[in-house]
Amino acid sequence: MDAISVIRTKRDRGELTPEQIDWVIDAYTRGEVADEQMSALAMAILLNGMNRTEIARWTAAMIGSGERMDFSSLSRPTADKHSTGGVGDKITLPLAPLVAACGAAVPQLSGRGLGHTGGTLDKLESIPGWRALLSNEEMLRVLDTTGAVICAAGDGLAPADKKLYALRDVTGTVEAIPLIASSIMSKKIAEGTGSLVLDVKVGTGAFMKNIEDARELASTMVGLGTDHGVKTVALLTDMSTPLGLTAGNALEVRESVEVLAGGGPADVVELTIALAREMLDAAGIKDADPAKALADGSAMDVWRRMIAAQGGDPDAALPVAREQHVITAPASGVLTRLDAYEVGVAAWRLGAGRARKEDPVQAGAGVELHAKPGDEVTAGAPLMTLHTDTPEKFDYALQSLEGSFDIAAPGASYEATPVVLERIA
């Protein structure tokens, strides 16, 4: 085998053989295939695509580059969830303890934010003492004792993906659907979960801007899960408007705790329960009611145990930004649009996100919303509050919010977009 022949095959719209795929992934992981050669292959895949057989083999090779976790010792069935990322997407925080309270084990390997999308680990690290880095033994112990764990993936899990993703990020090939699907699914399958629910976001604040691309990605990932023996289902969900009323790390933790306490924004509650039902069904748990587990406090109990088991203090005060700036409504009427992407960029610019993986984040930074599309607003009343420790960032954040919302005349009609758009199984 040699890298040039593999590149030429895909450049010329050919189908890569299983032997070519196995060799190129292994050789790239070992450093025998150079970055410039793999970037040429990634671009050829972006332009010419892959069929289901190729994607399945590519994913298997990525999985085979590292270790596979084993949860067979647990007394509960395992169910996991993955979101493709959005603005205000704090769903993992209430979802994992909720599903655990209903009888499943939730081994949630999560990531950090990059750019305008938030990261689950960054949010949880705003809780004093909480640890994202756990050994495999620690992860299994937390999972066994509390029913849920949210932590970072270890270096041994699909190392080929980690190396390839970093390359795609700087070569303009992140958008290749076969590579997105194999990146997500290689880690989730290697993680060892028995079932998986995918939350594929659609809209301005999502990676997939239109429903056709989101449907293709979701169908590809469901097929990959099925091919590898993991029961997989996907929901396409709206990300044209931020989820909930907050975008930022500690701000979103606070809102998640409100959901676990039986309150919180309606869209966050709706999506949390919808995903919980899918996860429980996929795990074979038919008689549990996630809405009841939110209402009776059992999900909150699991949350507190889970946070404490990872070194966090569930009673500690969350960080608060030192400075705030209020944006008021310029007119009275009905808020008809609030662009998720622009709100996410504003939160990032305020310090809630990072441009590079090594950048620090501010725990208290972000955007707090006082109205969502469909709400009546009054001229001069607060529309958003910006939070940061560095007030010199306000002007930069405000630039991204110019033109980010529309207000129609008082009494104007408004038709809300459903939170869940489609289900793919």
The catalytic site residues sit at 82, 161, 168, 183, 187
DSSP 272-319: HHHHHHHHHHHTT--S--HHHHHHTSHHHHHHHHHHHHTT--TTSPPP
For residues 343 and 116, what is the distance between their CA atoms, to the nearest angstrom?
8
Tell me the C-alpha to C-alpha distance, in Å, between residue 73 and each of 76, 78, 85, 140, 143. Answer: 9, 11, 31, 9, 11
Looking at the chain, the number of H-run helices and the number of E-run strands are 16, 13
Indicate the length of the chain as a whole number.
425
Name 14's Cβ contacts closer than 8 Å, sequence gap at least 6: none
For residues 244 and 205, what is the distance between their CA atoms, to the nearest angstrom?
13
Contact 331, 234 (CB under 8 A): no
At which residue do the structure tokens 């939730």 appear? 106
For residues 333 and 88, what is the distance between their CA atoms, to the nearest angstrom?
24
Alpha carbon of residue 47 to chain centroid: 26
Q: With the C-alpha atoms ordered 293, 299, 302, 304, is the resulting torsion angle positive or negative?
A: negative
Backbone angles phi, psi at 423, to 5 degrees: -125, 130
Tokens of 128: 């004093």
For residues 422 and 262, what is the distance between their CA atoms, to the nearest angstrom?
26
For residues 99 and 105, what is the distance between their CA atoms, to the nearest angstrom?
8
Closest CA to 24 of 52, 44, 1: 1
At CA 381, angle to CA 376 and CA 383, rounded to 5? Answer: 75
Bridge partners of residue 237, in order along the sequence: 201, 420
Tokens of 33: 């295939």
